[in-house]
Every structure is written in C-alpha cells, then in structure tokens.
C-alpha cells in the first residue's frame, strides 16, 4: 500500500516538474504567437509559446511526456505535432475537434483548474484513472462538435477508505482564511459528500491524527508539487488513503460570493474532497469533479455524475 502511494507520488512529481517548466519565464514570448486569451481580465496566465502548450498537454495527460524535455527547443514544437493531443483535449472538453489551437481551445486552457491530471498513463500503477463508460453520439467528423456524455472516473490502483468515520484537520503554512471560515466551508463540503455516502466526517481533536489534512500552501511546499502562484492551478489532493488536500495560497480565494477575480473556496473544497475519496476528473462539465472551475464560478452542489461516481466506489447508500 505504501508502495502504491509512493508510485502515485512519483507520477505526480513528474507531472509537477513539467509544470515548473511551463511557468519558466524564459520560455515565454520566445515566439510570436497569438495565444493570448480574450478574457484577459479573468486570466493572468498566458501561453507564450507552443512549447508551453505542449507542456500543458503533457502535464494534464493528453500527450505522452518527452523525457528529453530540457533538450527540446521551442522551434521543434509545431502545431501539427500537437494535432493528436489537441484533438484529444478538445474531445474530452466538449470543444469542436479541429486539432488546432482555436480561440475556444485556448480560452479553455487558460481557465483556472485543478492540478490533478485529467488522464493518467494506462498501465502505470498508482495513478491511472479507470475510465467509466463513455457514450459517444453525434458526429466526430473534422470540425464538428463531438457530443460526449460526461462520465465520472475513479482513480485506479488506489486503496479506498474502509472505515465509515473519516477525520480531518487543518494544517497551513499560510493563513489566508480564518480557521473559523475554513472550518465552516469545509464542514459544508464534507456534508455534501456525507449525504450521498456512508461516511461521517469529523474534525479531529487537538493532537489527534487526522485522515485528511487540509491547508493552504504556496510554491514549493514539500510534496513535490509546487504551486504556480496565481496561474492555472488552484489546488490538488491525493488519492486515498493519502489524505493531503492543498489549496494554492497565491490564488485570490472567496469565502462568500466570489467576484470575477476570485475562486470560490467551497466549490474547490468540494472538488478536492472528491479526490481524497477516490474520484478522478469527469468529462461532465456540469459535475463538481470536472477539472475546471473558473474564477467567479460557484459549484457547491454535487451533480448526478458525482453521486453516481462516489456510489460506484462506495456502494452502501
């Protein structure tokens, strides 16, 4: 079990180190590319080069990672070399499948999201996501919208929780939100999952070991997944029974009604708790377990896809 965890951690470390490369400023603006998001006000992070797009696609599982990343020059990455990965990204994200970086695709990539990958390499222990049934209908012909009915995914090769009482506590290196607010927000988010499962969630007492540890962290915070500042990623959490749930302390968080610049803490907490219970990213855009929650967006209610997923994993209620 410990071995599986370390393998998952290793995988996530690989993913994270690639992301570091994305934010290296030296890569930015090395080519004149029109990849600027039209939604400038809402997004502070832009792709400066095709190489960054490639790293993004690799990081979130749409493209196999190149092991010789340091050697790749930006000029070697062409849009056509990303055709398959962009097409897959568009298909999974309900965009027109063109294989090209059209504005809708770039805007989606700019949308703030969870740090967990959408697709894990198959056959790799500890991190691959077991795909649920995908129901394709409509046409997937070039340029046409591919209609994909979203479906939840479960982490593969994890150890689901076996006890029904799960405890949590708060561990932070940065205090952005008062403990009182954080407690209330996470309490409500846990309640939503408890309502559709056999779990009872309880805050651990002082000095008690908690199953799930929740906190805000910035930059490199010791788990191999440095946060990116106010950028693509707002949080990440590990598959069971690891229990670590981390929010990026550099984001602008809202504890009430988010403005267009703020990320809704309760929506993200609900999503990340889903990971700590064993759910991976769904392709259902309305579901809480969809990877993207844009700034100003509130998603505080579990959807049928989320409920189907958690009940498939813990069939008891």
Ligand X SMILES: *[C@@H]1O[C@H](CO)[C@@H](O)[C@H](O)[C@H]1NC(C)=O
Question: Which chain residues interact with ligand X by CB under 6 A?
Answer: 95-96, 104, 145, 169, 171, 204, 206-207, 209-210, 213
223 lines the binding site for Zn ion (CB under 5 A):
yes
Q: Give the nearest distance from C-beta 144 to Zn ion in angstroms.
A: 28
In DSSP terms, 147 is beta-bridged to 137
**Residue 223, contacted partner among ligand X, Zn ion, none, CB below 5-8 A by kind:** Zn ion
Q: Give the nearest distance from C-beta 100 to ligand X in angstroms.
A: 11
Instruction: Look up residue 70 and give its DSSP letter.
Output: G
Residue identified by tokens 């393998």 is: 7
245 lines the binding site for Zn ion (CB under 5 A):
no
Strands of 34-186 (E only): list them: 129-131, 135-137, 147-149, 153-155, 165-170
Per the annotation, binding residues for Ca(2+) are 211, 228-229, 248, 251
The single residue among 246, 268, 279, 302 that binds Zn ion, judged by CB under 5 A, is 246
Cβ-contact 4, 126 below 8 angstroms: yes
114 lines the binding site for Zn ion (CB under 5 A):
yes
Tokens, residue 266: 């309760």
Q: Give the nearest distance from C-beta 250 to Zn ion in angstroms.
A: 13
- Residue 236 has phi, psi (to 5 degrees) of -155, 160
Residue 304: Cβ-neighbour burial (10 angstroms; 0-12, 13-18, 19+) = exposed
Q: Give the nearest distance from C-beta 223 to ligand X in angstroms.
A: 14
18 lines the binding site for Zn ion (CB under 5 A):
no
How long, in residues, is the chain? 317
Cα 98 from Cα 31, distance rounded (Å): 22
Cβ-contact 279, 306 below 8 angstroms: yes
Q: Give the nearest distance from C-beta 113 to Zn ion in angstroms.
A: 8
104/261 with CB nearer ligand X = 104
Q: Is the peptide bond before 255 cis (omega within 30 degrees of 0)?
A: no
84/298 with CB nearer Zn ion = 298
- Classify strands 165-170 and 200-203 as parallel, antiparallel or unpaired: parallel
Compute the CA torsion angle 20, 109, 188, 152 (nearest 10 deg). -100
**Residue 246, contacted partner among Zn ion, ligand X, none, CB below 5-8 A by kind:** Zn ion
20/210 with CB nearer ligand X = 210
How many chain residues bind Zn ion (CB under 5 A)?
5
Select which of 52, 58, 266, 272 is catalytic: 272
In DSSP terms, 168 is beta-bridged to 203, 212
Per the annotation, binding residues for Zn(2+) are 114, 221, 223, 236, 246, 271, 275, 281, 289
Comparing every residue's Cβ against Zn ion, the nearest one is 114
**Residue 116, contacted partner among ligand X, Zn ion, none, CB below 5-8 A by kind:** Zn ion
Annotated catalytic, 52? no
Residues classed as catalytic: 272
Chain residues that interact with Zn ion, rule: CB under 5 A? 114, 116, 223, 225, 246
């Amino acid at each position: 079990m410990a071995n599986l965890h370390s393998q998952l951690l290793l995988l996530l470390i690989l993913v994270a180190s690639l992301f570091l490369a994305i934010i290296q400023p030296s890569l930015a603006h090395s080519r004149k590319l029109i990849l600027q998001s039209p939604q400038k006000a809402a997004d502070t992070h832009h792709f400066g080069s095709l190489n960054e797009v490639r790293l993004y696609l690799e990081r979130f599982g749409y493209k196999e990672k190149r092991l010789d990343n340091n050697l790749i020059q930006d000029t070697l990455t062409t849009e056509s070399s990303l055709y398959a990965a962009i097409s897959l990204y568009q298909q999974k994200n309900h965009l027109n499948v063109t294989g090209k970086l059209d504005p809708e695709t770039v805007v989606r990539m700019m949308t703030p999201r969870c740090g967990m990958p959408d697709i894990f390499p198959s056959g790799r222990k500890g991190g691959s996501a077991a795909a649920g049934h995908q129901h394709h209908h409509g046409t997937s012909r070039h340029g046409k919208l591919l209609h994909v009915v979203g479906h939840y995914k479960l982490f593969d090769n994890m150890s689901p929780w076996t006890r029904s009482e799960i405890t949590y506590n708060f561990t932070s290196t940065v205090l952005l939100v008062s403990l009182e607010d954080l407690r209330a927000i996470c309490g409500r988010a846990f309640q939503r999952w408890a309502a559709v499962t056999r779990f009872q969630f309880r805050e651990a007492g002082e000095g008690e070991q908690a199953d799930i540890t929740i906190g805000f962290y910035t930059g490199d915070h010791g788990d191999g997944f440095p946060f990116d500042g106010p950028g693509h990623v707002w949080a990440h959490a590990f598959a069971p029974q690891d229990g670590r749930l981390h929010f990026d302390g550099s984001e602008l968080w809202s504890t009430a009604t988010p403005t267009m610049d703020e990320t809704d803490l309760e929506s993200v907490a609900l999503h990340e708790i889903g990971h700590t219970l064993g759910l991976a990213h769904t392709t259902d855009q309305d579901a809480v377990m969809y990877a993207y929650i844009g700034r100003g967006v509130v998603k505080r209610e579990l959807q049928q896809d989320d409920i189907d997923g958690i009940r498939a994993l813990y069939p008891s209620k």
